[in-house]
Structures are given as C-alpha cells and as structure tokens.
Amino acid sequence: MTTLERPQPLLSMAEKTARIDAICAAARILPVITIAREQDILPLADALAAGGIRTLEVTLRSQHGLKAIEVLREQRPELCIGAGTVLDRGMFNAVQAAGAQFVVTPGITADILAAGVESDIALLPGISTPSEIMQGYALGYRRFKLFPAEISGGVAAIKAFGGPFGDIRFCPTGGVNPGNVRNYMALNNVMCVGGTWMLDSSWIKNGDWNRITECSAEALALFD
C-alpha cells in the first residue's frame, strides 16, 4: 500500500469536541428543520440565512431529509449543514454519504456512539439522564444534546448536571422558546440551543419566507 492509499487517522474525540464547540458557538441556535416538500429546501435555507441563522440541523423525520442535505451541501456551501434525528448506524452512514458536517441524535445506543467514535463527523448525542452522560463520557464524548429539554428538567437539570459533570456542555432542545431561551443561555454549561419557533409550519406551507427571516433575526437578537 502506498502512502497515498493509506487511510488517514481519525480525528481524536478532543478534536471532534472542539469541532462541535465551533459549530455551536457560530450557531447559537440550531433550527430543527423537517422538510415536507422538496421545493422548500432552498428557499427555507435562504430565509433562515437572511435572518442570520446559517447552521442548520436537517432532520430525517421526512423522506426529503437526505435529499435536503445533499442539495444544501452542493448549492449552499457557505452554510453549515448537519443531520438530525439520526437513529442508527445505517442512518449515520447515509447522512455521512450525503455530506452532513455534523450529526445530532435524539438519544443514544452503544452502536450509534461507536459510529461517532469511528467517524470524522462530529456527533452530538442526545441524552436525558446522568447514566446516559456517563455512557458517552466513557467513550470520550463531552458535548451532548439534552432532549427533550423542558420535560427532562430544563434549566434546573442542566444546573444540577454541572456538579458531577464539570467539563460537559449541552445543547438543550425541546420546549426551548423565546420565553425561556435566555435562562438556558445564561448557564455556563450551555453552548447553544435547538429550536423550531422560527419555523412555523404555516409560514413554510404558504411560502412566507420574509416572516421566517424576521423571526430568525429576532431569535438571534435574544442573545445580544
């Protein structure tokens, strides 16, 4: 095997943690996007970007998720495109092939955590309990999505996690809204939040892209 043919070493878990940190610092809000119609892919992304949201989590909750990731990576290379609602290794491999730049899961399994260790794509695993944090921690994960955040204890839970898990940081998702987002972002162990309030389904259905742009800008202004 020649030097060029040799597989390149994987990024370390510390390097992947740094990559997640950079993605979340730039994003502040990860919009959780479900594409109902292929025709909405580009105008929706453009509306979010015009409002300042340029890091997008495209979920696999619809048949258009993989296509959306492929289209956005090809036609909007200036955006950072991640894949959400990744449930197993097959989905992980599919979003990797589609060009996803990061992966988010709603929960964890041993196999999905192993897939993240074995890939150079940074994985943000979903957790809701200390035991799940410890399962990921043992493999080198230091960044997690708390999901569903409000049902799982919200701000109080994240504060409590800060005691035993001092080097862990979170992206709370699920129930985060304009009324509570500042409470989450005030916590030292919160790096960004996931949300959907700038993605009202009626706005998307009606092509009200200006409304989405305005709401995106208003959402980011909550962090100022």
The set of catalytic residues is: 57, 145
Q: How far is CA 77 from the centre of its chain?
A: 17
pLDDT of residue 46: 98
What parts of the chain have a pLDDT lower than 70? 1-9
pTM equals 0.94
CATH architecture, range 13-219: Alpha-Beta Barrel (3.20)
Give 42's Cβ-side CA count (13 Å radius).
Answer: 6
Q: Give the residue extent of every domain in the chain.
A: 13-219
Q: How far is CA 18 from the centre of its chain?
A: 15
The verdict on whether omega for the bond into residue 164 sits within 30 degrees of 0, i.e. cis, is: no
Cβ neighbors of 5 (< 8 A, separation 6 or more) are none
Neighbours of 140 (CB within 10 A): 14
pLDDT of residue 7: 57
